[in-house]
């Protein structure tokens, strides 16, 4: 079984390219926080160690175009896909290995106007399978 689900923030704007066949492919990197306690996170930060993993993402087709059009560095997204490994020979003759997540589904968890970087939410952004936001007055404790 090869299945991956990630939630993180883009470390750079998506890079959109088109193959000779016309198929769109978009690449970006996702910073996914490590599951660290507050103390451990502070310790890592004080030593200059990363508190997140940086994972390369590849998206194909219309979804690739949507990512390039609506996502920017810092945006929070969820990715569902699979891990793909590969290798190539670099110009210096050394063999290089790659590991990417090929996204089969990309869910935008934040929406901001790409031009003004203003954040805007709609009521439907917070609805999840039968759940809806409530006021604090509706909570019995």
The sign of the torsion formed by the CA atoms of 49, 7, 106, 109 equals negative
What is the reported pTM? 0.73
CATH number for the domain whose boundaries are 4-138: 2.40.50.140
Q: Are 24 and 18 in contact (CB under 8 A)?
A: yes
- pLDDT reported for residue 36: 81
- pLDDT reported for residue 94: 94
Would you write out the chain's pLDDT as a tens digit for each of its 141 residues? 999 999 999 999 999 999 999 999 999 999 998 888 888 888 888 888 878 899 999 999 999 999 999 999 999 999 999 999 999 999 999 999 999 999 999 999 987 655 554 444 444 444 444 555 555 565 555
SS3 of the chain: the string is CCCEEEEEEECCCCEEEECCCCCEEEEEEEEEECCCCHHHHHHHHHCCCCCEEEEEEEEEHHHHHHHHHHCCCCCEEEEEEEEEEEEEECCCCCEEEEEEEEEEEEEECCCECCCCCCECCCHHHHCECCECCCCHHHCCC
Q: Which structure tokens are listed for 82? A: 């699979």
Q: Give the integer Cα–Cα distance in Å for 31 and 56.
A: 9
- pLDDT reported for residue 113: 57
Q: Give the integer Cα–Cα distance in Å for 103 and 81.
A: 4
- pLDDT reported for residue 135: 58
Beta bridge partners of 59: 26, 103
Q: How far is CA 23 from CA 59, 63, 71, 105, in A?
A: 11, 11, 19, 17
């Amino acid at each position: 079984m090869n299945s991956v689900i990630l939630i993180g923030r883009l470390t750079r704007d998506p890079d959109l390219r088109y193959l000779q066949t016309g198929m769109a492919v978009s690449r970006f990197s996702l910073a996914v926080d490590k599951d660290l306690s507050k103390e451990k996170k502070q310790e890592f930060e004080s030593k200059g160690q990363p508190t997140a993993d940086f994972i390369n993402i590849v998206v194909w087709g219309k979804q690739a175009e949507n990512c390039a059009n609506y996502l920017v560095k810092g945006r929070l997204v969820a990715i569902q896909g699979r891990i793909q490994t590969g290798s190539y020979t670099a110009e210096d003759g050394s063999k290089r290995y790659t590991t990417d997540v090929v996204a089969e589904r990309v869910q935008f968890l934040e929406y901001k106007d790409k031009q003004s970087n203003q954040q805007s939410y709609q009521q439907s952004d917070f609805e999840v399978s039968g759940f809806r936001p409530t006021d604090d007055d509706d909570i019995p404790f």
